[in-house]
Amino acid sequence: MEINQLSIWQVIQTPGVTDLVIDGASFARADYGSGFQDVESPFITDQDLSEAIIQLALDAGSRIDIAKPVADFVYRGARFHAILPFGLSAKPLLSIRVHPSKPQPLESLQAAGMFSNQQLGWLRRQMFHKKNIVFSGPTGVGKTTLLRSLLSEVTERVICIEQTPELFLAPPAIALTEREANQEGVGQIELDELIVHALRMRPDRIVVGEVRSKEFRVMLQAINNGHEGTLTTLHANNLESVAERLLVLGLLGNLTSELTSRLVSQSIDYVVQLGKKGNQRVISGIGQPIMTPTGLVVQRVAI
């Protein structure tokens, strides 16, 4: 067991690695920044992998077992998502996202081709003027990386609200994390409740790691009540699909499409869409949410 866990750390501590996925003991792949490639699995049997998952969760202060066979947790600065094969999968599954110990300087992201010098200047100006921005894109395109780098340049009282810690900002930033219910089914604290608490903590800026559901409504209400500089991330494949995703989030928060459209157009200043060009992470578009006679759209702007 100890040897297997050590092997996991050896892989994810390799310079440049961003992800490690282990799909059963016989299949492992790692992403070193240019797409997944096969690596040797640290495990011999699925039972070894399942036992390692349970131990990792325990070490992280989390829980995974037959009653709760899925877990998200952070351990040693990496984000783990695990599934045990209790009717959910034919084999145990482990996905690990690795975050650098320190935010990357924006100039490093620019040098890597994520954005142009003109876009870098634009991003810094929007941060200075405390614009409300949604960073959108599919998985693995650098939304959290860019957000973390931008926030590393501010010295404000930033309240970060996340399902699972990923931003890891230095003080004076403060992190609040969603809490699951205990084994008796009580004690759960979700993102929407954490946003309400954050509003009472004299924040200069509120950051929601990712909007997924009803916390979107609370976030929009906070912005409309005068809390500027709010930042969040959103999963959307392209800039053109962002408006539809936001409307769906509004419906999940019991808002009508009309009200969601109005709140978004009044609250969100810009959407920064990220994607990939080959293996390179790039800003693929920047848009502004606006109301049109046919509804909400995100209109591209040239930067």
Please give the Cα distance from 137 to 270 (Å, whole number): 14
Please give the Cα distance from 133 to 166 (Å, whole number): 18
Name the residue among 286, 279, 267, 264 with its Cα closest to residue 226.
267
- Mind listing the domains of the chain with CATH numbers? 8-98 (3.30.450.90), 106-300 (3.40.50.300)
Please give the Cα distance from 247 to 296 (Å, whole number): 8
pLDDT at 1: 38
Band of residue 2 on the pLDDT scale cut at 50, 70, 90: very low
Please give the Cα distance from 104 to 7 (Å, whole number): 26
Whether the pLDDT of residue 261 is over 90: the answer is: yes
Q: Judge contact between 156 and 108, C-beta under 8 A.
A: no
Name the residue among 62, 144, 47, 50 with its Cα closest to residue 94.
50
Q: Judge contact between 130 and 228, C-beta under 8 A.
A: yes
Name the residue among 288, 233, 238 with its Cα closest to residue 264.
288
pLDDT at 71: 93
CA–chain centroid gap for 178, Å, is 13
Please give the Cα distance from 202 to 59 (Å, whole number): 34
Residue with tokens 């590393």: 152
pLDDT at 3: 37
Higher local confidence (pLDDT), 214 or 250: 250
| R_g of the chain, CA atoms, integer Å | 20
Whether the pLDDT of residue 168 is over 90: the answer is: no
A 10 A CB-CB count for 206 gives 26
Name the residue among 80, 79, 2, 74 with its Cα closest to residue 42.
2
With residue 22 as reference, give the H or E element that holds it: strand 19-23
Which tens digits make up the pLDDT trace of 12-33? 888 888 899 999 999 999 998 7
Query: Each residue of 75-85: b (16+ CB within 10 Å) or e?
Result: eeebbbebbbe
Name the residue among 272, 279, 24 with its Cα closest to residue 140.
279
Residue with tokens 């009580």: 186
Whether this prediction's pTM lies above 0.85 is answered by: no
Higher local confidence (pLDDT), 179 or 3: 179
